[in-house]
């Protein structure tokens, strides 16, 4: 027994699910497969920051659209538009802040530079040693741990079948399209979309394609519940800190500090060498953190290619196969670029350009 | 009260009483005694405030699970039910 689908999506994270939903609304019959549970990779373990101040300039139009998507998803994903500050503590950081945030503002993000007085009025618990800061009213956060449950509900509503704990072990072709071999019955699909995040490389290899996908191992920590200390999301000019206090009082600390491990080996590990400076920077920004205990630190894999731009388009050399992933700021942009990818596969011309996975990755690494 | 076993409480050997402080207030407790118990004995029940609504909290489970008896000692947050009294111990509340 096997099933036939218009398209099989491998990877049930934000991008895979959002693409499947768009494909279904466009009249295709997709199926979503995940080796684990939906939204339990990077989509479900990241720090949940939705900040235009940490997006790449060229991706800003996508990030702005991403923010709209998150606002629409609202309470179901724990969305809060709190506004956010990015801080600089030294002259060098202040220069970096001015340079980077000016470019981002020019790219359409409503970012403004603020005075120390403004920031201390808004966030009185921050250190007095802020030299310069920028503010973006669009910034906020969502609760990444709700991703899986949210998309499971959306897929069910749209009558899109999904299989969890269904790892694809090999892919063959037949006259109709692709045959996906799993532990259970084979799944047949006319088209295929690879959206396996940090696991894109081994999945593409099943089709004989070598994608130069690498993974960053980002660390996130959460503290015990604290009295109200922050109302906005806080970042650092270098990008090495994100911090926000959730409604229950816990404070989430991220910033892309690197843990250890590879997607092939499992979940990845936290290392003291990167965790300690991460927490120190957080505590420098918010001295009251000195009173807080860290409850848990963990890592998540963020996939990328050498030019750090997305893969979103046709899988090179394999007709009817598509790939979506490696989006810097993928949590923010994911719901939108997933929808774009759906439109692309449906044969519509997407609202914004997609990103050819067959490009030369050594060029334009700016 | 009907005792099923004889009352041996008079035979409990208490260690020497030593001074310690809680938010600057001088208290006495038996050296080596459980800190949460010694605070209770000294009449201190209110150890911290709940982070949400600020309501008073004090020792509840006495086995380091509930986190309601957390205090500051040596700049660290620790469950007072996991500490023992020693001479000169400085305890600060999270009130």
User: Helix, strand, or coil here: B77?
Assistant: strand
Interface test with A, best of B50, B51, B78, B93 (most A CBs within 10 A): B51
Is pLDDT of A1 > 60?
no
pLDDT, chain A, mean:
96
pLDDT at A267: 84
Residues of B in contact with A293 (CB under 8 A): 77
Q: Please tell me the distance from the alpha carbon of residue A233 to that of residue A80, in angstroms, as a whole number.
A: 10
Contact B52 A226 (CB under 8 A): no
Contact A291 B67 (CB under 8 A): no
For B94, nearest residue in chain A (alpha carbons): A291
β-pairing, B17-22 vs A162-163, is unpaired
Which among B52, B67, B77 has CB closest to A249? B52
Q: Please tell me the distance from the alpha carbon of residue A97 to that of residue A114, in angstroms, as a whole number.
A: 12
Contact A290 B77 (CB under 8 A): no
| Domain ranges, ordered by start, for chain A | 3-43+146-211+306-346, 63-142+214-304
pLDDT at B12: 87
The answer to whether B60 faces chain A, any CB pair under 8 Å, is no
Is pLDDT of B1 > 90?
no
CATH 2.115.10.20 holds for A63-142+214-304: no
Q: Please tell me the distance from the alpha carbon of residue B60 to that of residue B23, in angstroms, as a whole number.
A: 20
Q: What is the pTM of this model?
A: 0.90
Dihedral-angle region of residue A342 (phi above 0 means left; psi in -120 to 50 means alpha; beta otherwise): alpha
The residues with which B90 forms a beta bridge, in sequence order, are: B21
Residues of B in contact with A249 (CB under 8 A): 51-52
For A293, nearest residue in chain B (alpha carbons): B77
Among A94-98, A306-310, A342-346, A361-365, name the one with the lowest average pLDDT.
Answer: A361-365
8 A C-beta contact, residue A337 and residue A257: no
Q: Among the CATH numbers 3.50.30.30, 3.30.360.10, 3.40.50.300, 3.50.50.60, which is that of A3-43+146-211+306-346?
A: 3.50.50.60
Q: Please tell me the distance from the alpha carbon of residue A349 to that of residue A133, in angstroms, as a whole number.
A: 39
8 A C-beta contact, residue A123 and residue A85: yes
Residues of B in contact with A291 (CB under 8 A): 72, 77, 94
Contact B77 A249 (CB under 8 A): no
8 A C-beta contact, residue A78 and residue A147: no
Q: What is the ipTM of this complex?
A: 0.74
Other beta carbons within 10 Å of A239: 15
The answer to whether A222 faces chain B, any CB pair under 8 Å, is no
Is pLDDT of A365 > 80?
no
Q: What percent of chain A is modeled with pLDDT above 90?
A: 95
Is pLDDT of A325 > 70?
yes
pLDDT tier at A2 (50, 70, 90 boundaries)?
low
The answer to whether A295 faces chain B, any CB pair under 8 Å, is no
Is pLDDT of A268 > 50?
yes
Task: Kindly report, residue by residue over A222-264, the tens digit of the pLDDT.
Answer: 999 999 999 999 999 999 999 999 999 999 999 999 999 999 8
- Kindly list the structural domains of chain B, giving each domain's residue range(s) and its CATH number in brackets, ordered by start: 15-91 (3.10.20.440)
Burial code of A178-215, b = ≥16 C-beta within 10 A, e = fewer? bbbbbeeebbbbebbbbbbbbbbbebbebbebebebbb
8 A C-beta contact, residue A235 and residue A54: yes
8 A C-beta contact, residue A9 and residue A3: no
Task: Kindly report, residue by residue over A163-191, the tens digit of the pLDDT.
Answer: 999 999 999 999 989 999 998 999 999 99
């Amino acid at each position: 027994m096997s099933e036939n689908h218009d398209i099989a999506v491998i990877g049930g994270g934000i991008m895979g699910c959002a693409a499947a939903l768009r494909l279904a609304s466009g009249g295709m019959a997709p199926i979503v497969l995940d080796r684990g549970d939906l939204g339990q990779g990077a989509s479900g373990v990241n720090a949940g920051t939705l900040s235009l101040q940490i997006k790449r300039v060229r991706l800003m139009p996508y990030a702005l659209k991403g923010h709209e998507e998150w606002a629409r998803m609202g309470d179901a994903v724990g969305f809060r538009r709190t506004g956010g500050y990015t801080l600089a503590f030294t002259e060098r950081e202040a220069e970096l802040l001015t340079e980077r945030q000016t470019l981002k503002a020019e790219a359409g993000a409503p970012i403004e530079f603020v005075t120390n007085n403004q920031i201390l009025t808004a966030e009185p618990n921050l250190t007095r040693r802020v030299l310069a800061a920028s503010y973006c009213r669009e910034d906020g956060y969502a609760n990444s741990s709700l991703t899986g449950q949210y998309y499971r509900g959306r897929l069910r509503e749209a009558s899109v079948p999904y299989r969890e704990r269904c790892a694809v072990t090999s892919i063959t072709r037949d006259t109709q399209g692709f045959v996906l071999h799993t532990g259970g019955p084979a799944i047949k699909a006319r088209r295929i979309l690879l959206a396996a995040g940090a696991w894109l490389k081994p999945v593409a290899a099943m089709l004989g394609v070598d994608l130069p996908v690498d993974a960053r191992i980002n660390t996130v920590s959460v503290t015990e519940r604290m009295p109200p200390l922050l109302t906005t999301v806080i970042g650092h000019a270098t990008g090495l800190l994100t911090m926000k206090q959730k409604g229950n009082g816990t404070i989430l600390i991220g910033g892309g500090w690197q843990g250890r491990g590879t997607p092939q080996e499992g979940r990845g590990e936290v290392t003291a060498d990167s965790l300690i400076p991460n927490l120190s920077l957080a505590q420098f920004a918010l001295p009251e953190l000195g009173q807080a205990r860290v409850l848990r630190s963990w890592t998540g894999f963020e996939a990328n290619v050498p030019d750090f731009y997305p893969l979103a388009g046709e899988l090179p050399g394999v007709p009817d196969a598509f790939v979506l992933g490696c989006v810097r700021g993928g949590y923010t942009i994911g719901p939108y670029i997933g929808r774009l990818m759906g439109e692309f596969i449906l044969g519509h011309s997407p609202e914004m350009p997609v990103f050819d996975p067959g490009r030369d990755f050594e060029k334009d690494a700016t | 009260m009907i005792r099923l076993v004889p009352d041996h409480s008079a035979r409990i050997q208490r260690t020497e009483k030593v001074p310690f402080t809680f938010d600057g207030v001088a208290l006495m407790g038996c050296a080596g005694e459980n800190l949460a118990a010694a605070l209770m004995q000294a009449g201190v029940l209110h150890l911290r405030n709940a982070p949400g609504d600020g309501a008073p909290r004090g020792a509840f489970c006495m086995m380091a699970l509930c986190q309601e008896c957390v205090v500051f000692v040596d700049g660290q947050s620790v469950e007072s039910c996991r500490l023992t009294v020693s001479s000169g111990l400085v305890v600060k509340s999270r009130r």
